[in-house]
Amino acid sequence: MSARDSKSARSDSKAARPRKSGKSKAEPATPKQTKPKQSKPQKARPLKAKLQVPPEPKANPGVEQGPGAANAFDPQRLSAEQMAIVEKLSANLARAAVTAQGAIAEAALRQAERPAALSADPFHVGSALTEVLGRLSARPERLVRAQAELFQKYLELWQSAGRRAAGETVAPIVEPQKGDKRFLDPDWSENPVFDAIKQSYLVTSNWLNALVSEVEDVEPMTKRRVEFFMKMLTDAFAPSNFLVSNPAALREAVASRGESLLKGMENFAEDLTRGGGQLSISQTDYDMFKIGENVATAPGKVVFQNEIIQLLQFTPSTPQVHEIPLVIFPPWINKFYILDLRPENSMIRWLTDQGITVFVASWVNPDQALAAKTFEDYMRQGIYEGTAAAMQQAGVDRVNTVGYCIGGTLLASTLAHMTAKGDERIQSATFFAAQQDFSEAGDLLLFTNEEWLKDLEQMMDAEGGVLRGQSMADTFNILRSNDLIWSFFVNNYLMGKEPKPFDLLFWNSDQTRMPKALHLFYLRKFYGENALARGELVMDGIKLDLSTVKTPVYVQSSKEDHIAPARSVYRGARLFGGPVTFTLSGSGHIAGVINAPVAKKYQHWTNPALPDSVESWMANAVETPGSWWPHWAAWLKERSGGLVPARDPANGPLKPLEDAPGSYVKVTS
């Protein structure tokens, strides 16, 4: 999920909850005569000292006087109220430290039971880093020039800081990139000290990342691995991630008399416990959302079930519907209700309003009993049996289909398999952010080499043959660490705040487990070998060839998608042998897809041609404001047949098993 996804979806969220009190249950006792006044809520403002030493009082009996005594700290010089504040601040800081130490000690004991988690090179970047540094050292003149450039930047920064200290108005020598939310607090610009810290960090991090990216004569994937690691490292060491160099966190600590830090360490301990000894940073208030109550609420029935899926048919909202129904196969890494978060942005509800009979596959959250399930099993029990059940329920001999993300990769493979078998049940196929050609598959490629796969295999073996859902969540979070890790680290731990209720992040954290056989096949055959695009993928004894697929195809991609990059999706679109309509939407992997027309957000581009590259396609594309859904709906209706009486899922040939959203979606990891 991209940063823009989070920002845009957050603006749509209407859930709210009162902020929890940061007050601890066992506060130090305060004498009655020194009871502090009730403090008023603090407004954000430039950092200033909140505790001021009053004028020196008259000499007190028993207090030592003499040279230097006027400058020495003397508790008796503080008023009773100020003394109470100091005592409370000190007590909260001490308790915060004890809480953090206890949580870390407990986590260390748990991690000691899992030696694989204590790897000296958990990101498998050691050999790549050695090669890149070797190339750098082989060109000493480049290093000397780079060091001179860095020193020059530092010199400019020192001169700028000096001029500003003298009262001049000075333009910054470096500024954060557009969209960088780490330095939004006014003190990062208005306070000369924090401004200098910020600019010093930006100078250094930009220099390090540029130094690596300019290395020559290195294998592209090796260089890309080091670039990713260096970006991750420099992001981690941003001054905003540390209490002593974060003005907002310091201001909150003073204003709350240390309660923010105590609450932050309590949040830290809770997240360590929730992660079983590994830090699982809370991104939202998980208790605010209930599946089937305030998310995934579109009415319908479960009309079919096997080991792999529950097939949901949703209640029509129009008196007539198009004859050919639509069957949606979302990714099994996440759960289907991304299509039905809230009524106002629910794609499922919107499609039923267009007169479409909607079926959705709700994938199982597999346990150890399903560890041996394969990609072929998901094809047969997922798409083959799911579409067969939908056809029986609707009384038709063909269906339209959608594949979202990895569900689209499976759908494309199944289309090629059906073509080889002469099976023509699929009238059309639509792909949301789905890849078939993985040669430019984005940063996820960095997590699919054999070193990573060996680690994954060990992890899955330790879990009985499945990959924990948290492992998948961690991988996706790393791809956007500033937005999905460090922003919550600062909010939850340094500021001591509760994360805001946010349905999209609730869904994002509701990851499913992965069967070992399925997951390793997917990573090796698609990311590792790019076998489908090369015509080398064999399933069920059949070599798959996408060029033989003549089914009409609609391909949606998103301009800022970091999981299924537009260039990668476009390459896959050109592999099909039939008519292909390609559309590019604004935003990223989630908000680019889930963009209801009523929101009137973003834009999309269309072009009926399909030239050699996405850049050539874009050069002649037409931009249209707002959602791409109406464009797709028009395309879909042309392939959905005439109108027939609406189909009640409770009265079809298949007996309803339970109400939507079903039971599979409620199984947590």
Task: For 479-508, write each residue's pLDDT tens digit.
Answer: 889 999 999 999 999 999 999 999 999 999
Write down the pLDDT at residue 69.
42
The CA-atom distances, in angstroms, between 548 and each of 107, 417, 419, 423 are 54, 10, 7, 13
Write down the pLDDT at residue 112.
55
Q: How confident is the model at residue 273 (pLDDT cuts 50, 70, 90)?
A: confident
Same domain, 410 and 544: yes
Please identify which residue in the block is written with the tokens 């199944």.
414
Same domain, 558 and 632: yes
pLDDT > 80? residue 339 = yes
Give the residue-averaged pLDDT of 616-626: 98
pLDDT > 70? residue 668 = yes
Are 19 and 498 in contact, with CB atoms under 8 Å apart?
yes
Write down the pLDDT at residue 37.
43
Record the tokens describing residue 42, joined without a space. 């603090």
Write down the pLDDT at residue 41.
41
Question: What is the β-pairing status of strands 580-585 and 553-558?
Answer: parallel
Measure CA of the first residue to CA of the last residue in the chain; give whole Å.
20
DSSP letter (8 states) at residue 666: G
Write down the pLDDT at residue 448.
87
What CATH number does residue 545 fall under?
3.40.50.1820
Which of 469, 588, 462 is CA-nearest to residue 519? Answer: 469
Give the residue-averaged pLDDT of 96-118: 62
Q: pLDDT > 90: what percent of the chain?
A: 71
Are 433 and 561 in contact, with CB atoms under 8 Å apart?
yes
Task: Tell me the CB-side half-sphere exposure of residue 115, using CA atoms within 13 A.
Answer: 0
Name the active-site residue from 272, 328, 390, 405. 405
- Tally the domains of the chain: 2
Write down the pLDDT at residue 109.
60
Are 303 and 656 in contact, with CB atoms under 8 Å apart?
yes
pTM of the model: 0.83
Q: Which residues contact 138 (CB under 8 A, 6 or more apart)?
A: none
pLDDT > 50? residue 305 = yes
Query: Does 490 fall in a domain?
Result: no
Write down the pLDDT at residue 32.
41
Are 215 and 223 in contact, with CB atoms under 8 Å apart?
yes
Per-residue pLDDT tens digits for 641-661: 999 999 999 999 999 999 999
Query: Which of 208, 241, 274 finishes a domain?
Result: 241
Write down the pLDDT at residue 7.
44
Write down the pLDDT at residue 110.
60
Helix, strand, or coil (residue 568): helix
Write down the pLDDT at residue 56.
40
Per-residue pLDDT tens digits for 357-369: 999 999 999 999 9
Same domain, 227 and 323: no
Give the residue-averaged pLDDT of 457-485: 90
Give the phi and the psi of residue 258 in degrees, each rounded to 5. 90, -5
Q: How confident is the model at residue 106 (pLDDT cuts 50, 70, 90)?
A: low
Per-residue pLDDT tens digits for 423-456: 999 999 999 999 999 999 988 888 888 888 998 9
DSSP H helices in 46-125:
80-112
DSSP letter (8 states) at residue 448: -
Give the residue-averaged pLDDT of 664-669: 93
Query: Does 248 fall in a domain?
Result: no
Same domain, 415 and 551: yes
Q: How confident is the model at residue 39 (pLDDT cuts 50, 70, 90)?
A: very low
User: Torsion over CA of 10, 557, 583 and 410, rounded to 10 degrees?
Assistant: -120
Same domain, 337 and 217: no
Query: Does 611 fall in a domain?
Result: yes
Write down the pLDDT at residue 447.
87
Same domain, 185 and 307: no
Q: pLDDT > 70: what percent of the chain?
A: 85
Write down the pLDDT at residue 473.
84
Helix, strand, or coil (residue 557): strand
Query: How far is 636 from 552, CA to CA, in rounded Å?
Result: 10
Query: How far is 68 from 369, CA to CA, in rounded Å?
Result: 76
Query: Does 46 fall in a domain?
Result: no
Same domain, 426 and 575: yes
Give the residue-averaged pLDDT of 501-528: 94
Q: How confident is the model at residue 278 (pLDDT cuts 50, 70, 90)?
A: confident
Query: How far is 419 from 346, CA to CA, in rounded Å?
Result: 33
Per the document, the length of the chain is 669
Write down the pLDDT at residue 77.
63
pLDDT > 50? residue 381 = yes
Query: Which of 241, 262, 292 finishes a domain?
Result: 241
Phi-psi region of 610 (alpha: psi -120 to 50; beta: other; left: phi over 0): beta
Give the residue-averaged pLDDT of 96-100: 73
Same domain, 188 and 315: no
Query: How far is 87 from 80, CA to CA, in rounded Å?
Result: 11
Query: Does 616 fall in a domain?
Result: yes
Same domain, 324 and 204: no
Q: Which residues contact 294 (CB under 8 A, 6 or more apart)?
A: 15, 288, 342, 503
Write down the pLDDT at residue 74.
56
Write down the pLDDT at residue 104.
67
pLDDT > 70? residue 575 = yes
Same domain, 200 and 332: no
405 is catalytic: yes
Query: Does 254 fall in a domain?
Result: no
Give the residue-averaged pLDDT of 541-555: 98
Q: Which of 18-32, 136-150, 592-606 has the highest mean pLDDT?
A: 592-606
Q: Which of 7-11, 227-231, 252-256, 397-401 has the highest mean pLDDT?
A: 397-401
pLDDT > 80? residue 82 = no
Task: Tell me the CB-side half-sphere exposure of residue 247, using CA atoms within 13 A.
Answer: 23
Give the residue-averaged pLDDT of 102-120: 59
pLDDT > 60? residue 50 = no
Query: Which of 172, 207, 241 finishes a domain?
Result: 241
Could you tell me which residues are beta bridge partners of residue 421?
A: none
Query: Does 484 fall in a domain?
Result: no
The CA-atom distances, in angstroms, between 518 and each of 297, 343, 384, 465 are 30, 33, 17, 10
Write down the pLDDT at residue 113.
57
Write down the pLDDT at residue 578.
97
Which of 418, 412, 299 is CA-nearest to residue 349? Answer: 299
pLDDT > 70? residue 546 = yes
Same domain, 207 and 349: no
CB atoms within 10 A of CB 60: 10
Write down the pLDDT at residue 6.
47
Write down the pLDDT at residue 87.
75
Could you tell me which residues are beta bridge partners of residue 80?
A: none
Q: Which residues contact 130 (CB under 8 A, 6 or more apart)?
A: none
Which amino acid does the sequence have at 437? D
Average pLDDT, the chain: 87
Write down the pLDDT at residue 40.
42
DSSP letter (8 states) at residue 619: H
Phi-psi region of 648 (alpha: psi -120 to 50; beta: other; left: phi over 0): beta
Helix, strand, or coil (residue 433): coil
Query: Does 384 fall in a domain?
Result: yes
Q: How confident is the model at residue 184 (pLDDT cuts 50, 70, 90)?
A: very high
Domain that holds residue 196: 121-241
Query: How far is 40 from 236, CA to CA, in rounded Å?
Result: 34
Which amino acid does the sequence have at 534? R
Same domain, 235 and 305: no
Give the residue-averaged pLDDT of 62-66: 41
DSSP string of 236-294?
Answer: HT-GGGSGGG-HHHHHHHHHTTTHHHHHHHHHHHHHHHHTTTS-----S-GGG--BTTT
DSSP letter (8 states) at residue 24: -
Q: Which residues contact 645 (CB under 8 A, 6 or more apart)?
A: 319, 320, 321
Consecutive H or E run containing 409: helix 406-421
